[in-house]
Amino acid sequence: MQRTKPPFRADEVGSLLRPQRIKEARAKLEKGEITAEELRKAEDIEIEKVVHRQASTGLRLATDGEFRRSWWHFDFLAKLTGCEMFQPEQGIQFAGVQTRHEAVRVIGQLDFPDDHPMLEHFKFLKKKCDAAHVTPKMTIPSPAVLHFRGGRNAISKQAYPDLDAFFHDLAKTYRKAVKAFYDAGCRYLQFDDTVWAYLCSQEELNKARERGNDLDGLQQIYARVINYALAERPADMTVTTHVCRGNFRSTWISSGGYEPVAETLLAGTNYDGYFLEYDSERAGGFEPLRYLPRGNKVVVAGLITSKSGALETKDDLKRRLDEAAKFTSLDQLALSPQCGFASTEEGNILTEEEQWAKLRLAVEVAQEVWGR
């Protein structure tokens, strides 16, 4: 059967390719040719259009495409109390390409500010989604992302001589964020998370140790932080997570199946749904889904790649859903692209029409598998 609440049988991760109007407006802002308010107006126009495009594609939800962001994570994290953007010596290394030299570090006590700009971003999205009769979905980075990427070296020892205090404040900050988005009208929130995939990659674990991370018990620490953040969410709020192996101009960072983290992630964190990437051999098999508890939790299988425009076939998608259903109930599965289409403003290497064809494919397959 189709689902009446998120995650839906046909869903999406979050980001969409940036329209030309927004790219041009951002370039003009950098040159001082327009004001920030003029950029916002351009974003408003394109977000309203993309909400209606998602609805007309058949999706029961819509995001703002993350059109107001440069990064999927830094734009949110840098606006937390106690955090700031800075320019490290190197960007983030993907397969064969490196990102811009930007990152976030912790310089003071963490908190979620009442005026975090993404609350207003959500309110605008909700208004447009209400008009289009779809559910607004808000995406923010997981709390684990603030710790793992920079490691101990990116957390002020003056502010946090003890990492236990850091994780305590991080959990409280995210619990406050969840409440703030709920109070703004959000009923579908997602924590985007690269960390669980990195914990499946020996190469990324080695890099984390070099950054000063103590990896002992880290899965359990992250699970406690996440569960504390979610503990007071109301019953009518769905919170999911997306586990990502890296997504920058169609490249990636980590490889490895979910087995090393599956039990902690699927059974030990209190998410309502898990968007898991399954578009390449780097993701491993479906066997880790055996840890998904029977009940209401849903795994959204990311079988449709967002990294290229080549369109998957319906038969292949249905076959792979059948394979996944050997390890969990088909009723606890859904379908989506494996990641967003533009985790950074640069976007992946495919066209907008190829992007929409993939989202239509998800809707059509979901209707054929689970009914209209």
pTM assigned to the model: 0.93
User: Within a domain: residue 12?
Assistant: no
User: Within a domain: residue 236?
Assistant: yes
DSSP 80-91: SEEEEEE--SS-
Residue 85, domain extent: 20-370
297/333 Cα distance (integer angstroms)? 9
- The pLDDT, as a whole number, for residue 205 is 78
Closest C-alpha to 121, from 7, 43, 229, 190: 43
Are the C-beta atoms of residues 155 and 166 closer than 8 Å to each other? yes
Closest C-alpha to 219, from 135, 138, 140, 148: 148
The encoded tokens of residue 99 equal: 């990102």
364/32 Cα distance (integer angstroms)? 45
- The pLDDT, as a whole number, for residue 335 is 98
User: Within a domain: residue 189?
Assistant: yes
CATH number (domain holding residue 321): 3.20.20.210
Which residues of the chain carry a pLDDT beneath 50?
A: 92-99, 248-250, 252
User: Within a domain: residue 4?
Assistant: no
213/224 Cα distance (integer angstroms)? 17
User: In degrees to the nearest 10, what's the CA dihedral of 128, 133, 344, 10?
Assistant: 180
- The pLDDT, as a whole number, for residue 250 is 47
- The pLDDT, as a whole number, for residue 101 is 67
Task: Characterise 76 by phi-psi region: left (phi > 0), alpha (psi -120 to 50), beta (else).
Answer: alpha
Are the C-beta atoms of residues 299 and 327 closer than 8 Å to each other? no
Which single residue is written with the structure tokens 């259009």? 49
> Both ends of the chain: CA-CA distance in Å?
8
Span 151-202, pLDDT tens digits: 888 999 999 999 999 999 999 999 999 999 999 999 999 999 988 988 887 7
Residues ≥6 apart with Cβ < 8 Å to 220: 264, 268
The secondary structure element, H or E, covering residue 319 is helix 314-324
User: Within a domain: residue 321?
Assistant: yes
Task: Write a three-state SS string for 116-162.
Answer: CHHHHHHHHHHHHHHHHCCEECEEEECHHHHHHCCCHHHECCCCCCC
- The pLDDT, as a whole number, for residue 98 is 46
User: Within a domain: residue 11?
Assistant: no
CA 222 to chain CA centroid, nearest Å: 16
Task: Characterise 167 by phi-psi region: left (phi > 0), alpha (psi -120 to 50), beta (else).
Answer: alpha
User: Within a domain: residue 2?
Assistant: no
- The pLDDT, as a whole number, for residue 82 is 97
Largest CA distance in the chain: 57
Span 279-289, pLDDT tens digits: 767 668 999 99
214/164 Cα distance (integer angstroms)? 12
Are the C-beta atoms of residues 148 and 197 closer than 8 Å to each other? no
3-state secondary structure of 43: helix
Say how many domains are in the chain: 1
User: Within a domain: residue 280?
Assistant: yes
3-state secondary structure of 189: strand
Residues 263, 269, 270, 273, CA torsion sign: negative
45/25 Cα distance (integer angstroms)? 12
The secondary structure element, H or E, covering residue 242 is strand 238-243
